[in-house]
Structure 1
Amino acid sequence: MKILLFLDVSSLIQSLNKSKLIAECPDCGDEFPLSKALLFDGRGEFPDKAEEKRKELLKELKERSADLLERQKRATTKSENTAIAVGIGKIVEKILPAHKNFDLVPADCRFLAEPIDMIVFDGVSKNKVDKITFMDVKTGSATLNKHQRQVRDAIEDNNVKWESY
């Protein structure tokens, strides 16, 4: 058997206003007597102070929503621009050896794509390799990714070896 207890909200508020109960602010954690709180029945008109706070919170909510929409637009635009730049970069790295200003001998270049774009065996086309260059092609403000930096660091640290099988 269920027993439902219906309380008159007005009498509950009056009772809390007369009580010696202590409440804690959810924002700052400070404690205060509940009798000092602005208690009201939210089904009717708000007291002036509560209405001011409600309007302030609504304004803040609108500002945050507008900010969120703007950030979402910027993120989408940035993602699209990055995708386009990556696509262009992948095309450029493939056709770079054929470019008229490419000052390396295309026959000395070996395209890898990942993790770096190519290895240049300077002189291999003349049967005399003078040096080997590990190369990555970047466009715009693109930077090396994690794996490319690791390859660069291993080369700069002379952590490169030759093996025959």
Structure 2
Amino acid sequence: MAPSVAARGKIYKAKRRGEAIPEGWALDGEGKPTTDPEAALGGVMLPMGGPKGSALAIMMDVFSGVLSGSAFAGHVTNPYDPSKPADVGHFLVAIKPDLFMSLEDFKERMDYLYQRVIGCEKMAGVERIYFPGEIEQLTQEERLKSGIPYTNGEIEALNNEAKKVGADLLKC
């Protein structure tokens, strides 16, 4: 999970597509708010949740960077820079719920939490409240049925990589 307002990958995607990013996602290299993805990549992503989110981001950096022995504190290599390994670390947690209660009780409690979250009173103009990860799950189901929409620029970038390794090219 990205501890920033939006995942950095969304900034790269906006850059590839020639789109602006929403206000509040990033600061440029001078610390000024920006909607320009190029300037955002030269600056810093803003943490979700303000100061409390910043604390969570630091703890994620401790767990996935400091403790794992990989890069941390902004030193993970850009995923589009093939000049050196990314040195990205990961932090995984596995929890066995039935060590704390019966699996049936856990499922009932999770369903209750889910129903409470999605059943909350909605703000004007909001049709549905989603549980964390639910939008991505629904998007995956849709993509499996109808495919992944790409812009011509993304197809060109993929074809440039395909040419390097002799793979078949995609059609626009």
TM-score normalised over the length of structure 1: 0.18
Larger radius of gyration: 1
